[in-house]
Amino acid sequence: MNYQEIKNKHADELQKMLLEQREVLRDLRFKDANKQLKDIRQIRKTRQAIAQILMLLRAKKNDRAEAQQEVKSSDK
């Protein structure tokens, strides 16, 4: 998953992707614990994807909060 691909997605889509990636990470951890995982780099890539999604969700939330603050301050 590329950062540029997920950057333009809506917050709802990002939430769905976050749930999916967390499920994938859980499965990878189980496979690693049972010595069934061949490429352990998949765990790192999945964790990075989760971090990117969380960062974008926080940024979108902050943007909405700033926009609301601007609206409130202009109403006064």
Distance CA 1, CA 47 (A): 11
Q: Residue range 46-50: average pLDDT? A: 97
More confident residue, 70 or 29: 29
Confidence check: pLDDT of 1 > 80: no
Residue 21's closest CA among 58, 52, 49, 59?
Answer: 49
- Output the pTM of the full model: 0.84
Q: pLDDT-derived band of residue 65, with 50, 70 and 90 as boundaries? A: confident
Question: H-helix or E-strand containing 38?
Answer: none
| Residue whose tokens read 């590329």 | 2
More confident residue, 4 or 14: 14
CA distances from 8 to 2, 36, 56 (A): 11, 35, 10
pLDDT in tens, 52-63: 999 999 999 998
